[in-house]
Amino acid sequence: MGLFGKGRERAPKVDFDHLPRHVAIIMDGNGRWANKRGLPRTAGHAAGAETFRRIATYCKEIGLEYLTVYAFSTENWKRSEEEVGAIMGLLKKYLLEAIGQMERDRVKMRFFGDLTPLSQELRDLCRRTEEISTHYEGCQVNICLNYGGRDEILRAARAFAGECAAGRAVPEQLDETAFSGLLFSAGVPDPDLIIRPSGEVRISNFLLWQSAYAEYYFTDVLWPDFDQEELHRALASYQGRSRRFGGVT
């Protein structure tokens, strides 16, 4: 299988002993899923939230080290107040449930993005989930919230420029490793595989720096319909590729 998923055909076998370390997902298609069913877009987001819960749990079960999901972009504020409010309400619900289950599930959580525009309650919940999970080992789920790849790069550039202006650094000290350490994802390995459901074939400002050598998997399946079999197709597609990182094999 190549770059694109073919939908509901039988999923190929996956070698669970050689999984990618880090899978990232652009959770796209909630609104279209709802429109196809004559439902409000908010219903699509609710269905997508349940899909995220199932996929994150399954990734932990199969031993994936890192899962990063695009939950809310810096551009998503342009959507209607009702839709944004519904998304934030679902996030609150998920975090409250996660806090109650983290000791049992032992899933680490981190947030990538600028959380300052969020309500104080949501910011406190995000901070609380990160604090609880600091001593856990195993699968780490990174939730990109009010996140944009360009915004992330600009923030890192400004941070380094500030260090130089303060005399604590010089431009010659900046290399790829140092720059990566200034990103929201500092300390997290770059994604090996990025999955985009919904039939769209673009990266939409997601992990621009980190995805330099990521493999991509695109599928027409809308995010609320994304399931374990579709994940298996993505993983099998990844395992069938040769990653050369700019070299020659």
Active-site residue numbers?
28, 76
CA angle 17, 19, 24 (to 5 degrees): 160
Output the CA–CA distances (angstroms, integers) from residue 231 to 7, 31, 211, in the order listed.
11, 21, 19
Q: For the stretch 41-59, what's the b/e string if a residue is b when 16 or more beta carbons lie within 10 angstroms of its beta carbon?
A: bbbbbbbbbebbeebbeeb
Decide: helix, strand or coil at residue 109: strand
Plot region of 132 (φ>0 → left; ψ -120 to 50 → alpha; else → beta): alpha
Q: How many CB atoms lie within 10 A of CB 241?
A: 13
Residue 155 CB-density burial (10 A; 0-12 exposed, 13-18 middle, 19+ buried): middle
The alpha carbon of 123 is separated from its chain's Cα centroid by a whole number of angstroms, namely 18
